[in-house]
């Protein structure tokens, strides 16, 4: 019998390392890609299907699956090395990873955004950094269909893939103490939407009236990893109108 081994291209980039004494990170390279994204989703799904004793939860990101565990339970009350147990478990999941299947088609979610002005105080800065006119920044930002790679940073906050490279702008050196909910921002080659008022270092180019996080709902996050979305530019009047309907 041949030892199972992970699909070759993923094996060559896979790394396992600790995040402190109660989490293991499985990293598949350091490039955002839909193939990596699907592999991470499949691995997370495997943990949902067959959770191991002591699994607390996991967080999937662009190229990482971070698995939180209870070292006491995993170590069987201190009898085994808990890190090794979880790392071995993740390695075998990786080995069993089926060839990445075609992603299921999900409905496109439209996110209306009022760009610039007081809603997007950094639009001018992004325009200056990228050498584009503000209108061109908006046009490029509303053009693609984005993939929701992960939810994180705040409840319901989507990290999106698919932003045109020309829009790449670094984060702020010092995060703002408070960014309003609905703010649409750029950080490096990423774009996303703030779902709650929170501190943050992204360059803010606009704001959406839609609620991305509703704790009283059965599924509290509007978006899920794996979905596709598009930004639609709206006026300030449309923003106010939509905000009334959202509340």
Does residue 61 interact with other proteins by CB under 8 A?
yes
The residue within the footprint of other proteins, chosen from 45, 56, 124, 236 (CB under 8 A), is: 56
The residue within the footprint of other proteins, chosen from 7, 44, 121, 164 (CB under 8 A), is: 44
| Nearer Cβ to other proteins (32/95) | 32
Does residue 146 interact with other proteins by CB under 8 A?
no
Does residue 69 interact with other proteins by CB under 8 A?
no
Does residue 247 interact with other proteins by CB under 8 A?
no
| Nearer Cβ to other proteins (59/132) | 59
Does residue 170 interact with other proteins by CB under 8 A?
yes
Q: Minimum distance between the CB of residue 66 and other proteins, rounded to whole angstroms?
A: 3
Q: Minimum distance between the CB of residue 5 and other proteins, rounded to whole angstroms?
A: 25
Rounded to 10 degrees, the C-alpha dihedral 78/80/86/87 comes to 130
Does residue 138 interact with other proteins by CB under 8 A?
no
- DSSP letters along the chain, please? -PPP---HHHHHHEEEEESTTSEEEEEE-SS--HHHHHHHHHHHHHHHHSPPTTEEEEEE-SSEEEEEE-HHHHTTTTTS-HHHHHHHHHHHHHHTPPPPPPPPP-PEEEEEEEESTTT-TTHHHHHHHHT--HHHHHHHHHSSPEEEEEE-SSTTPEEEE---GGG-BPPPSS-EEEE-TTEEEEEBTEEEE--SSEEE-SEEEEE--S-SB-TTSSS-BS--TT-EEEEEE--HHHHHHHHHHH-
Does residue 156 interact with other proteins by CB under 8 A?
yes
Does residue 53 interact with other proteins by CB under 8 A?
no
The residue within the footprint of other proteins, chosen from 10, 14, 62, 89 (CB under 8 A), is: 62
Does residue 66 interact with other proteins by CB under 8 A?
yes
List of residues contacting other proteins (CB under 8 A): 17-23, 25, 30, 32, 44, 56-64, 66, 68, 71-72, 75, 77-78, 81-83, 150-157, 159, 170-171, 173-175, 177, 187-190, 195-199, 201, 213, 215, 219-221, 225
């Amino acid at each position: 019998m041949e030892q199972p081994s992970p699909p070759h291209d993923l094996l060559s980039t896979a790394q396992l390392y600790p995040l402190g004494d109660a989490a293991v990170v499985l990293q598949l390279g350091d490039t955002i890609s839909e193939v990596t994204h699907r592999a991470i989703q499949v691995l997370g799904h495997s943990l949902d299907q067959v959770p191991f004793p002591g699994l607390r939860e996991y967080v999937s990101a662009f190229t990482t699956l971070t698995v939180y565990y209870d070292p006491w339970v995993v170590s069987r009350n201190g009898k085994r090395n808990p890190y090794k147990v979880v790392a071995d478990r993740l390695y075998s999941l990786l080995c069993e990873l089926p060839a990445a299947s075609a992603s299921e088609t999900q409905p496109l979610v439209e996110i209306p955004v009022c760009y610039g002005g007081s809603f997007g105080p950094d639009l001018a800065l992004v325009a200056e950094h990228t050498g584009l006119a503000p209108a061109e920044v908006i046009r490029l930002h509303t053009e693609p269909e984005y993939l929701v790679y992960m939810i994180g940073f705040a409840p319901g906050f989507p990290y999106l893939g698919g932003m045109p490279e020309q829009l790449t702008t670094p984060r702020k050196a010092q995060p703002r103490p408070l960014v309003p909910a609905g703010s649409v921002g750029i950080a490096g080659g990423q774009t996303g939407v703030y779902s709650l008022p929170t501190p943050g270092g992204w360059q803010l180019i606009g704001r959406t009236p839609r609620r991305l996080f509703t704790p009283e709902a059965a599924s509290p996050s509007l978006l899920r990893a794996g979905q596709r979305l598009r930004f639609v530019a709206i006026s300030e009047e449309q923003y106010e109108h939509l905000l009334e309907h959202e509340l």
